[in-house]
């Protein structure tokens, strides 16, 4: 297989580095790019170091055989109106990033032999649920109230992360008041207090794949955050998800910064118990007393920091309280007809064997032959109004499904494209099973598929720099949300964190984490005017 030629960012060479960066960012995902761009807007010269051959982290795209696919962006919510999310995207991209709405039915849930769906618009969403579950109207209305209450709690949870420990203590009583009782509770427990109808609970949790944990394991806060995020529908970045990074990089360059690719950081250098720079995989050292890691908590603390530093600052106990999110498979499909000709929808399909999502996951983990507990199908070329201009007469489809990392662990140290027959056989059989799900839902596609390839958790490790093929970095349990060390500040002077592990997963979650990290680094006096620029009059 030929590597993709769709690449953005500037290839790293030591001689291309400028002198005297104000900050180094490890990783060019949404968290890293947002932090770098906002600091650049404040006049900092920031060096972003990305190990992959293209920038963007999970927002990167790749092309092969005349097709183009996204790896970690299928839909973004909250960008159809001048919301805070939209304003931040507009600011970072200087208005260059455009959004295309999906169908009003943005998510469809196949639950066993029943079909439910989610419809865009708060009132439409509610009315559509009532249409599907007329006897549950009161429960649905109570659910909508709960979603509304969570909003203030989410902001309080996020703001907590910006504050210094002594500030947190002072504001704790006020914050407690802003955090509703349900914020840190388990999703299933909260929902089962509203209704006993398991199909309704399954429909409300139909997007559990967006955070990677089924309802009996997940936190209601993250559930509600995702449900609210898509309440007004799903949107797709026009031109493909790589446009996100492509449109943010100029802001970093404007202040003399750069986003380097092929730039793997081997170690964060610690001298006198504080950050002194980074050592690159080629041995080159970049000195800097501010390093922001957006490479994820597992990479940062298990790989990039010297072990004695991790122990010195007491992170070993912290690390024991968090674990990786589920690993995943991807199927990337190309067809020689346009999305319109093939009748592909701008609706995501979520396919479940039945309404007990937790039981299905348990069974799948215990028995590799069991049904996939969730199969997600997305139609990116249908969602992107520009796809036809770039790749006329073709269409793409993407499938995502979970897969325990252990199935692929033995290929840990192997090279992409050279993993041998056994690996290819396993991939092929999993790919065929997933393709059958597609054909079952869209039988007109049988015989029309020109090309498809399967990615595994080892592909995720190889390209996206993860350790266990994680879909979403750390898993989103309620326990994780109580970890107040997961935030922008670390106990190691000069080291900051950002990205999905510091707040929540999702492109918007990582972007907001980037804003919080900037805020924590520069303080409110400098951040205030910048926030005004981004949000206008809004605080």
Ligand X SMILES: Cc1cc2nc3c(=O)[nH]c(=O)nc-3n(C[C@H](O)[C@H](O)[C@H](O)COP(=O)(O)OP(=O)(O)OC[C@H]3O[C@@H](n4cnc5c(N)ncnc54)[C@H](O)[C@@H]3O)c2cc1C
Chain contacts with ligand X (rule: CB under 6 A): 26-32, 49-52, 57-59, 72-76, 264-265, 294-295, 299, 328, 400, 464-465, 471-472, 499-500, 505-510
DSSP 393-407: T-EEEEEEEE--GGG
Closer residue to ligand X, CB minimum distance, 51 or 217: 51
Q: Cβ 97 to ligand X, closest distance in Å?
A: 14
According to DSSP H, which parts of 387-502 are helical? Answer: 387-390, 421-441, 457-464, 478-481
Measured from the CB atom, the residue of 294 and 394 that comes closer to ligand X is 294
- Give CA–CA dist 150/518, Å, rounded: 24
What are the residues facing 62 on neighbouring strands?
69
Angle between helices 165-178 and 137-162 (to 10 degrees): 170
Q: Which is nearer to ligand X, 57 or 494 (CB)?
A: 57
Phi, psi of 504 (to 5 degrees): -145, 170
The DSSP element (H or E) to which 84 belongs, if any, is helix 84-92
Find out whether 45 and 22 touch, Cβ atoms under 8 Å.
Answer: yes
**Cβ of residue 141: shortest distance to ligand X, in angstroms?**
28
Closer residue to ligand X, CB minimum distance, 431 or 509: 509
User: Which lies closer to ligand X via its Cβ, residue 146 or residue 286?
Assistant: 286
Beta carbon of residue 411, minimum distance to ligand X (angstroms, whole number): 19
- Least separation in angstroms between residue 421's CB and ligand X is 26
Nearer to ligand X, 72 or 324 (CB): 72
Residue number, 361 or 471, with CB nearest to ligand X:
471
How far apart, in whole angstroms, are the C-alpha atoms of residue 309 and residue 292? 16
Compute the least distance from the CB of residue 171 to ligand X, in Å. 26
CA dihedral 227, 228, 229, 232 (to 10 degrees): 100
To ligand X, the closest distance from the beta carbon of 282 in angstroms equals 12
CB of 375 to ligand X, least distance (A): 12
- Report residue 6 as tokens: 């769709």
Residue closer to ligand X (CB basis): 128 or 508: 508
Instruction: Give the nearer residue to ligand X in terms of CB position, either 128 or 504.
Output: 504
Order of strands across the sheet with 274-280?
A: 265-271, 274-280, 285-287
- 256 by Cβ neighbours in 10 Å (0-12 / 13-18 / 19+) ranks as middle
Give residues with Cβ within 8 angstroms of 527, minimum separation 6.
518, 519
Closest to ligand X by CB, 179 or 243: 243
Q: Are 433 and 375 in contact (CB under 8 A)?
A: no
Contact 35, 517 (CB under 8 A): yes
Least distance (Å) between residue 50 CB and ligand X: 5
* Residue 252 C-beta: closest distance to ligand X, Å: 14
What's the CA gap between 513 and 158, in Å, rounded? 8
Contact 331, 372 (CB under 8 A): no
Closest C-alpha to 473, from 301, 261, 259: 301
Helix (H) or strand (E) holding 259: strand 258-261
Q: Is the Cβ of residue 227 or residue 507 nearer to ligand X in the bound state?
A: 507
State the nearest-atom distance from the C-beta of 290 to ligand X, in Å.
16
Is 372 within 8 Å of 403 (Cβ atoms)?
no
Least Å distance, CB 170 to ligand X, is 30
How far is the C-alpha of 20 from the C-alpha of 277, rounded, in Å?
11
3-state secondary structure (DSSP) of residue 64 = strand
CB of 85 to ligand X, least distance (A): 10
Tell me the Ramachandran region of residue 224: left when phi exceeds 0, alpha when psi lies from -120 to 50, beta otherwise.
Answer: alpha
HEC profile of 106-124: EEEEEECCEEEEEECCHHH
Percent helix, strand, coil in the chain (nearest 5)? 45, 20, 35
Q: Which is nearer to ligand X, 72 or 240 (CB)?
A: 72
CB of 302 to ligand X, least distance (A): 11
Instruction: Report the run of H or E that residue 165 belongs to, with start and end.
Output: helix 165-178
The closest alpha carbon to 42, from 496, 535, 537, 531, belongs to: 531
Taking the least distance from each CB to ligand X, the nearer of 180 and 380 is 380
- Residue 467 in contact with residue 324, Cβ under 8 Å? yes
Minimum CB–partner distance for residue 416 and ligand X (Å): 14
User: Residue 291 or 507: which CB sits closer to ligand X?
Assistant: 507
């Amino acid at each position: 297989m030929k590597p993709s030629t769709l690449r953005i960012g500037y290839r790293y060479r030591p001689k291309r580095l400028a002198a005297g960066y104000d900050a180094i960012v490890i990783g060019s995902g949404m968290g890293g790019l947002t932090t770098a761009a906002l600091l650049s807007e404040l006049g900092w010269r920031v060096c972003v170091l990305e190990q992959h051959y293209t920038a963007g982290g999970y927002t990167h795209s790749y092309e092969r055989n005349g097709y183009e696919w996204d790896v970690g962006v299928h839909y973004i919510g909250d960008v159809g109106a001048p919301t805070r999310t939209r304003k931040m995207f507009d600011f970072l991209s200087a208005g260059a990033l455009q959004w295309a709405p999906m169908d009003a039915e943005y998510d469809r849930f196949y639950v066993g032999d029943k079909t439910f769906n989610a419809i865009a618009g708060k009132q439409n969403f509610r009315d559509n649920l009532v249409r599907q579950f007329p006897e549950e109207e009161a429960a649905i209305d109570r659910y909508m109230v709960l979603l509304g209450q969570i909003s203030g709690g989410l902001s309080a949870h996020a703001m907590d992360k910006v504050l210094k420990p002594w500030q947190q203590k002072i504001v704790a009583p006020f914050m407690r008041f802003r955090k509703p009782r349900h914020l840190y509770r388990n999703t299933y427990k909260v929902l089962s207090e509203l209704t006993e109808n398991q199909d309704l609970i399954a429909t409300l949790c139909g997007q559990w794949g967006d955070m990677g944990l089924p309802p009996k394991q997940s936190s209601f806060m993250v559930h509600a955050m995702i449900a609210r995020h898509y309440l007004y529908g799903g949107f797709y970045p026009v031109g493909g998800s790589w446009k996100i990074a492509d449109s943010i990089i100029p802001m970093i360059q404007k202040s003399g910064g750069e986003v380097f690719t092929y730039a793997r950081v081997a170690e964060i250098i610690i001298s006198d118990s504080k950050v002194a720079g980074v050592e690159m995989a080629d041995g080159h050292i970049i000195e800097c007393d501010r390093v922001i890691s957006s490479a994820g908590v597992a990479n940062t603390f298990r790989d990039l920091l010297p072990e004695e530093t991790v122990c010195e600052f007491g992170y070993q106990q912290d690390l024991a309280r968090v674990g990786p999110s589920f690993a995943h498979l991807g199927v990337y499909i190309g067809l020689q007809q346009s999305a319109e000709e093939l009748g592909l929808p701008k609706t995501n399909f979520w396919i479940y064997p039945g309404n007990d999502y937790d039981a299905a996951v348990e069974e799948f983990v215990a028995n590799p032959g069991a049904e996939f507990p969730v199969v997600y199908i997305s139609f990116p070329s249908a969602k992107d109004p520009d796809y036809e201009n770039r790749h006329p007469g073709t269409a793409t489809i993407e499938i995502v499904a979970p897969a325990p990392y252990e199935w692929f662990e033995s290929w840990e140290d192997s090279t992409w494209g050279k993993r041998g027959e056994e690996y290819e056989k396993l991939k092929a059989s999993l790919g065929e099973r997933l393709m059958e799900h597609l054909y079952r839902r869209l039988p007109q596609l049988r015989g029309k598929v020109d090309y498809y390839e399967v990615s595994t958790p080892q592909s995720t490790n190889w390209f996206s720099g993860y350790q266990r093929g994680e879909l979403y970095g750390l898993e989103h349990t309620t326990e994780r949300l109580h970890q107040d060390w997961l935030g922008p500040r670390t106990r190691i002077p000069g080291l900051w964190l950002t990205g999905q592990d510091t707040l929540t997963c999702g492109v918007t979650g990582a972007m907001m984490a980037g804003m919080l990290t900037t805020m924590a680094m520069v303080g409110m006096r400098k951040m205030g005017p910048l926030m005004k620029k981004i949000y206008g009059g809004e605080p």
